[in-house]
Amino acid sequence: MSEPRLPPELEHAIFKVAAMNFPGTIPTLMRVSRRVLEWTEPLLYRVLQFQMETIPTEGFLRAIRANSQEFAARSVESIFFEAPQDISRELGTELLRKCTGIVRFGTTYPFTGTAVLEALGNLPNLRHLTLNLGSLLSWDDGSVPDASLDPLPAAFRNITHLSLIDYMIDDADEHNTYALLPRLPKLTHLAMRRGAMSDNAIRTLLPSRPQLRVLLLTDNTNPFPLPDGLPSADPRLVFGFLSTEYRGFWGDWLSGSKGDRDMWALSYETVQGRINSKASHESWSSSDAWISMSTEPISRNQPVSPELDRKLDYSRMDDELLPSLPAGQE
């Protein structure tokens, strides 16, 4: 068994940087040695587009069965349930209990209820939340709790970025949402559909939330010129084009999860530019102020074939480094 030629800390750092910058090389890096496998395999699932019977998902489920309990905790940082109707509530909540390193979580309306809210509350690092708040707050018996939930559910205590996909077609949803938002102590970024927030709600929310840095209202079409003018002259109010179509919306979510530019980044830059320039609010009340990002639409993960399923087996890994290259070819 050969020994590492570099200090373990430096060797670890090198492989981690390589895996983070070039994620496509991770399967190859995993075959260098047992210790490199332990360093790089968790990074394979750092951003997980969870859909049953696809290669990333089945590989991850196999990996958490084969590794120690801490594997799931140190692997996933961002996860969204791409087809929550295909994921049982039991499996989904179990994953949230195991993957305690999650920073970003996204889902759509089928994954809801008290068990989900409780599981989200056990994620100490959760900061970014994208979901339908109205359905999350619909209890399993069909009732809707009052927004004065006391104490505030742990799931919301550390949220900084909240992206709501609610349509607000129900009065109870609207009431509970606007009653709950002021209670989120660390909220700095809020995104909603333009049609889900009235002008009066905008004028009420912004003055009451001085720590809010961005209020992003999105739509499929350019809202300018606004028939009644801007609902607020507050520079934190940003109108943005973000497709409500599934593939486009979640494509932007994935872009931000991977560390690339997304609507959050562009919105924050827009607000800072307004503040720093000390421009009059009239300068952002036209179509020229409309922000838009072109991100790659999400694509479906490749399904697992029987042949590939047999290959997803790392049990024959050994602790030997690959042979060194001949002199002069390093």
Phi and psi torsions of 129, nearest 5°: -130, 125
User: In the predicted model, is pLDDT for residue 135 greater than 70?
Assistant: yes
Closest CA to 31 of 308, 323, 250: 323
Query: Taking all residues of the chain, what is their mean pLDDT, rounded to a whole number?
Result: 80
User: In the predicted model, is pLDDT for residue 311 greater than 70?
Assistant: no
Residues 18-39: pLDDT tens digits?
A: 556 667 666 766 666 667 666 6
Position with higher pLDDT, 2 vs 61? 61
Element (H, E) at 223: none
Question: Across residues 59-77, what is the average pLDDT?
Answer: 87
Taking CA atoms, 293 is separated from 128, 265, 290, in Å, by 19, 10, 10
Show Cβ contacts of residue 25 under 8 Å, excluding neighbours closer than 6 positions. Answer: 18, 19
- Side-by-side strand order, sheet with 104-106: 47-50, 78-81, 104-106, 128-131, 161-164, 189-193, 214-219, 237-241, 291-292
Q: For position 272, what pLDDT does the model report?
A: 94
Peptide bond before residue 225 is cis, with ω within 30 degrees of 0? yes
| Domain limits, the chain | 14-43
Q: For position 54, what pLDDT does the model report?
A: 86
Helix (H, G, I), strand (E, B) or coil at 131: strand
User: In the predicted model, is pLDDT for residue 62 greater than 60?
Assistant: yes
